């Protein structure tokens, strides 16, 4: 089956020293426009219940440029994209409210919270030098070939931890691989001791990238908190903190992609638990006695567990695994997570055990690693689901 997909190609760029202030000023003006437009929407609704649309705000941009000439330093389509981002935030707010979840109303952006500009109708292909509107010619490291049949749709210039990047969004034709024989099915159990334990006995230790850098981050953040704000020392330490977080993110992303590739090389069908990670990382509710006095609720221990869960990146890993499997003609399937660790994969009996018990021992004589037993159960449930009549 042939269809069109959209992919992003990210490249490192090196603007000249004289050019750096230009996009940084544009970040500031885009943030100002976002906050102004958000205030305009909220004020109109609070006064008389009027809802201002994206098109109304877009049509008012020419007048706004006359009132505030500094907006002319930003490409017109970049300003339109800012308003589109605000409108998308509103649509997401209404969608979450309708679904009954936590709505999350759009927030005003603080200084330093805007680090990208997007050109929605950019069509030029990347090369060793690219021309960025209102910025000029910028040197680009063309390390990754863009396919010949790809059509560039947008360009986004971002700044991350002091590094500049150009991200090209491109559309290209894609022929889906026919679903293969789905050979060598695997069940995987995600964990915090091993990143995953597979039903064939293979496992990958969890790297703990954030935990390894935690002491360094604490030291930098303490020094940052003690330094005078907006001083040269403050900005130097802030750059160091951002650089540390950026390295953690890059290393984790590299690990997740390589781990997913390794799994898909040896299996055409992978089963995993359908975990609600957002519920798993929630804070425990406060406990009170009859007199209203707060009781211990293990919030400190839960905070440490939440930090480890976020560091593992399970949700991102499952996303990577799913989209890579679709492109390769392979398949992934989520199974219910209930009792996968407690059920004996050999006889089916429930063997209750706490999280600290890492070995599964059953009266039937089956002894195995706790996570291996769970992976075998995940594989069994997944195969039963596939074979069940529809």
pLDDT in tens, 131-182: 999 999 999 999 999 999 999 999 999 999 889 999 999 998 877 665 555 6
- Under DSSP, is residue 339 helix (H, G, I), strand (E, B) or coil? coil
Work out the average pLDDT over 318-325.
Answer: 92
Work out the average pLDDT over 200-228.
Answer: 94
Q: Is 185 in contact with 382 (CB distance < 8 Å)?
A: yes
Residue range 35-67, pLDDT digits in tens: 999 999 999 999 988 899 999 999 999 999 999
Among the residue ranges 222-226, 348-352, 384-388, the one predicted with the least confidence is 384-388
Q: Percentage of the chain with pLDDT > 90?
A: 66
The per-residue pLDDT of the chain, averaged, comes to 90
Measuring CA to CA, which residue among 17, 217, 221, 34 is closest to residue 111? 34
Residue 195 pLDDT > 90, yes or no?
Answer: yes
Could you tell me the pTM of the whole model?
0.84
Residue range 8-35, pLDDT digits in tens: 999 999 999 999 999 999 999 999 999 9
Instruction: Name the CA radius of gyration of the chain, rounded.
Output: 26
* Tokens read off for 218: 């604490």
Work out the average pLDDT over 197-209.
Answer: 94
Residue 388 pLDDT > 70, yes or no?
Answer: no
Work out the average pLDDT over 339-357.
Answer: 88
Work out the average pLDDT over 201-225.
Answer: 94
Phi-psi category of 134—alpha, beta or left, where left has phi over 0 and alpha has psi -120 to 50?
A: left
Strand order in the sheet with 186-190: 203-205, 194-198, 186-190, 269-273, 331-335
């Amino acid at each position: 089956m042939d269809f069109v997909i959209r992919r992003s190609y990210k490249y490192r760029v090196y603007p000249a020293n004289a050019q750096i202030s230009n996009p940084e000023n544009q970040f500031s003006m885009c943030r100002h426009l976002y906050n102004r437009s958000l205030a305009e929407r909220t004020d109109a609704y609070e006064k008389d219940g009027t809802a201002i649309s994206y098109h109304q705000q877009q049509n008012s941009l020419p007048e706004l440029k006359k009132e505030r000439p500094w907006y002319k330093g930003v490409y017109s389509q970049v300003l339109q994209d800012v308003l589109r981002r605000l409108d998308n935030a509103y649509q997401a707010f209404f969608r979450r409210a309708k679904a009954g979840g936590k709505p999350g109303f759009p927030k005003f952006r603080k200084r330093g919270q805007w680090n990208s500009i997007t050109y929605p109708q950019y069509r030029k292909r990347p090369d060793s030098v690219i021309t960025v509107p209102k910025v000029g010619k910028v040197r680009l490291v063309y390390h990754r070939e863009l396919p010949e049949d790809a059509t560039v749709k947008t360009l986004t210039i971002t700044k991350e931890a002091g590094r500049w990047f150009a991200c090209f969004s491109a559309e290209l034709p894609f022929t889906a691989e026919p679903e293969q024989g789905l050979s060598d099915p695997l069940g995987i159990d995600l964990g915090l001791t091993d990143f995953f334990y597979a039903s064939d006995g293979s496992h990958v230790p969890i790297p703990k990238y954030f935990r390894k850098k935690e002491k360094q981050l604490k030291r930098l953040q303490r020094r940052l908190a003690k330094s005078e704000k907006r001083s040269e020392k403050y900005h130097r330490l802030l750059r160091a903190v951002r650089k540390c977080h950026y390295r953690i993110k890059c290393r984790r992303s590299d690990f997740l992609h390589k781990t997913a590739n390794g799994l898909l090389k040896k299996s055409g069908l992978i089963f995993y638990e359908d975990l609600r990670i957002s519920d798993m990382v929630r804070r425990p509710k406060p406990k009170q006695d009859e007199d209203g006095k707060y009781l211990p609720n293990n919030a400190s221990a839960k905070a440490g567990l939440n930090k480890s869960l976020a560091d593992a990146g399970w949700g991102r890993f499952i996303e990577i695994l799913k989209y890579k499997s679709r492109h390769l003609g392979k398949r992934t399937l989520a199974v219910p997570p209930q009792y996968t660790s407690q059920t004996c994969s050999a006889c089916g009996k429930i063997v209750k055990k706490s999280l600290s018990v890492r070995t599964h021992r059953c009266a039937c004589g089956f002894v195995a690693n706790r996570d291996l037993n769970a992976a075998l159960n995940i594989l069994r449930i997944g195969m039963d689901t596939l074979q069940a009549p529809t």
